[in-house]
């Protein structure tokens, strides 16, 4: 049995909007990856891949996220990003578009999380929406733009 896909076209459009903005700022190209990669994009300059990348759009400010203890990302996604990074020698870039700007965390080697907690959603009554999540301190993020 297949799980429902909760990611909407609107979600994908918002992520792509962030990617297109960063392409201009960083002089690069974001390429959407097949779902089997478990991360949203690879970032390249020319044909050379620079980084794997996950883009998240949130309805909170980074201050709010910090007050909640830090940014949460699925431990499964974090593990996939770590595996891709280690097997390729490329970094992983986590991009957050929050209410107060666009932020990024470039992870080159230190995939050690700042904590692991149970997180996720329970409003959809899908037991697979609650899972171990990696906690990342907001101090690890750099602001790109307002």
pLDDT tens track for 30-74: 999 999 999 999 999 999 999 999 999 999 999 999 999 999 999
Burial 119-134 (b: 16+ CB within 10 A, else e): bbeeeeeeeeeeebbb
pLDDT tens track for 110-144: 899 999 998 876 665 665 667 899 999 999 999 99
Which residues, listed in sequence order, are joined to residue 103 by a DSSP beta bridge? 96, 143
In whole angstroms, give the CA distance from residue 84 to residue 92: 8
pLDDT tens track for 51-62: 999 999 999 999
SS3 79: helix
**Residue that is written with structure tokens 């960083």 in the block:** 26
Judged against a pLDDT cut of 60, whether residue 1 lies above it is answered with no
pLDDT at 109: 86
pLDDT classification of 91: cutoffs 50, 70, 90: very high
> Which of 35, 29, 144, 146 minimizes the C-alpha distance to 94?
144
């Amino acid at each position: 049995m297949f799980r429902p896909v909760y990611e909407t076209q609107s979600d994908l459009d918002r992520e792509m909007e962030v990617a297109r903005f960063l392409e201009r700022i960083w002089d690069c190209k974001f390429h959407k990856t097949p779902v089997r990669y478990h991360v949203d994009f690879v970032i390249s300059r020319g044909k050379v891949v620079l980084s794997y990348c996950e883009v998240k759009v949130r309805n909170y400010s980074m201050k709010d996220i910090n007050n909640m203890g830090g940014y949460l990302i699925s431990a499964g996604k974090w593990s996939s990003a770590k595996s891709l990074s280690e097997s390729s020698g490329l970094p992983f870039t986590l991009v957050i578009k929050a209410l107060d700007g666009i932020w990024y965390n470039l992870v080159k080697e230190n995939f050690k999380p700042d904590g692991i907690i149970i997180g996720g959603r329970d409003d959809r009554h899908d037991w697979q929406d609650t899972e171990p999540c990696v906690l990342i301190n907001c101090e690890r993020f750099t602001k790109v733009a307002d």
